[in-house]
Chain A
């Protein structure tokens, strides 16, 4: 592992506790602002010192509360791009990039890094004469020039327009495969997190709620709060009525839903659970007399409709007792004729339902409605 991280600290009212590791991959730290993401990077870089824990980079401990070890930032081999980049304004791009270089062959390495980041023609320019994207690349080049195996990126694309972000994300993914790097990437942008992450660490209020492969986090959030944070529009409260052959039957509102038993956890019959289903996973069907009483089928009436061009978001009042949000692509929307019909049957496919334990912790944080966009 390039990074082993375990830290607990108290900063005024804010308590922080997290543990994860990173190999040769991009780990995205995801969460709202103030969740503890940037703090994590500062702890790794040595700009802040935790109360307890152990941090090792490349197998070597840089902080260990047990032994009192705490290496200063300048001896931790990392490349760190802070959110506001902090390019040294009085230095040229070349001087900035060379700042962290040591040893022989600096000129050649400078040329390589500038080339890699397509900055060759800007090497003698001062940062303020560069565009946002060029500054971003210069900051990245400066961090990369350290030849560190661990790269820390704090919201590196947040200040850029969409087209530049797309380009730079692509560049980051390319770099990762070319340079054999571990990257810890902080973002609060869900789409960005999904795009660049190999593994995803979801932070909330100083706690690491879930650390897992990207798809696992998106398909099987650990609890209601993670589901909310990762954009699951529909989280239904229900009760397990039967568990048989790897399938749970859950009563939610007036409907009966079948869902697979989740990995590593088997709820008891009678236990309250949360069921997550993403808006784009709900199917619409024309009304059929046979539907009522069938599992995973619910009748609903459109109460609100938002057209985003490529997709439509529909909000249904249904027998489930809670509003159900459905996202449907423009083409099926037209083919089905959704615009001319208010009442529909909603199909919640069993394989897209994810059953989660009701944790008191998560319940406390779920005061926000289940319709987080």
Chain B
């Protein structure tokens, strides 16, 4: 009786873990099973559509990441060092795209930067400049959904660096910039790298906002996720979609592995 009482919860827990694991592993297994078994997978991977989409995805997400890092780093640093009324609201606003469904992000971007949007309308009227259906719109969508992940991680990273280090660096003659470069940056590097990886992954996988704000045109706005969605609608159904998904998965894995190596190397060995 006692043995039973002890074992029942353990068995339940084991089952729960097993279900959870199966839930996460199975979709990948399914992709590989379809992709490797299916004929035409290789053709789909090497098709113009796939290569165009992959190229576009890689360089737009890279640009989005660079912008997120260049602009997000000072913002995150500033937020960890100043106090002002309403700071919590500002932080919540920056975090908002993280919890927002990307489709809402797309609609929101449209209302701001679309041809009839708050800023988009004057841009169009005065300069004839339109952002919709352009690669710029793709990058904006990726930046909008990805950058908050970087800023959030960077804030946590900066907050984790004892302020005493910076003060001491100042007393040792270091300017604010030098103290940041030599002390804060190396010490918060793992957080920054993790945030950058997350931001990039999010940008790479961006679908909803891009679909609504940037449209779907091969070579210009059709990123990998959009290409996968389009492939899904073709008569041959899943084959192409699966092939593209496997391709994107492989690229993402390689990139994340590289990020991981970078961040662990940055942390240094004792």
Enumerate chain A interface residues (CB-CB to B < 8 A).
45-47, 72-76, 78-80, 82, 84, 86, 88-90, 99-100, 102, 126, 128-129, 142-143, 146
| Complex Cα gap A84–B183 (Å) | 16
| Chain B residues, CB < 8 A from A102 | 173
Choice from B173, B175, B187 contacting A146 with Cβ under 8 Å: B173
| Complex Cα gap A66–B70 (Å) | 41
A74 to B171, Cβ gap below 8 A? yes
| Complex Cα gap A312–B183 (Å) | 52
| Complex Cα gap A86–B186 (Å) | 15
| Chain A residues, CB < 8 A from B18 | none
Choice from B164, B173, B268 contacting A86 with Cβ under 8 Å: B164
Contact count band on B: 10 to 19
| Chain A residues, CB < 8 A from B270 | 126, 128-129
B187 to A73, Cβ gap below 8 A? no
A45 to B171, Cβ gap below 8 A? yes
| Complex Cα gap A126–B187 (Å) | 14
Interface centre among A76, A79, A90 (most CB of B within 10 A): A90
B172 to A146, Cβ gap below 8 A? yes
A73 to B171, Cβ gap below 8 A? yes
Min Cβ gap B170→A in Å is: 4
Per DSSP, are chain A's interface residues mostly helix, strand or loop, or mixed? Answer: loop
A78 to B268, Cβ gap below 8 A? no
| Complex Cα gap A267–B243 (Å) | 101
A73 to B167, Cβ gap below 8 A? yes
CB within 8 Å for A73 and B164 given contacts A88-B183, A99-B182, A129-B270: no
| Complex Cα gap A190–B133 (Å) | 75
Q: Give the 10 A-B residue pairs with the shortest CB-CB distance, closest first.
A: A100-B172, A73-B170, A80-B171, A86-B168, A86-B164, A90-B186, A74-B173, A73-B171, A74-B170, A45-B171
Min Cβ gap B151→A in Å is: 23
Min Cβ gap B199→A in Å is: 24
| Complex Cα gap A46–B268 (Å) | 33
| Chain A residues, CB < 8 A from B168 | 80, 82, 86
B164 to A82, Cβ gap below 8 A? yes
| Complex Cα gap A86–B164 (Å) | 6
A47 to B167, Cβ gap below 8 A? yes
| Complex Cα gap A47–B182 (Å) | 19
| Chain A residues, CB < 8 A from B170 | 46-47, 72-74
Smallest CB gap from B165: residue in A? A86
Min Cβ gap A127→B in Å is: 10
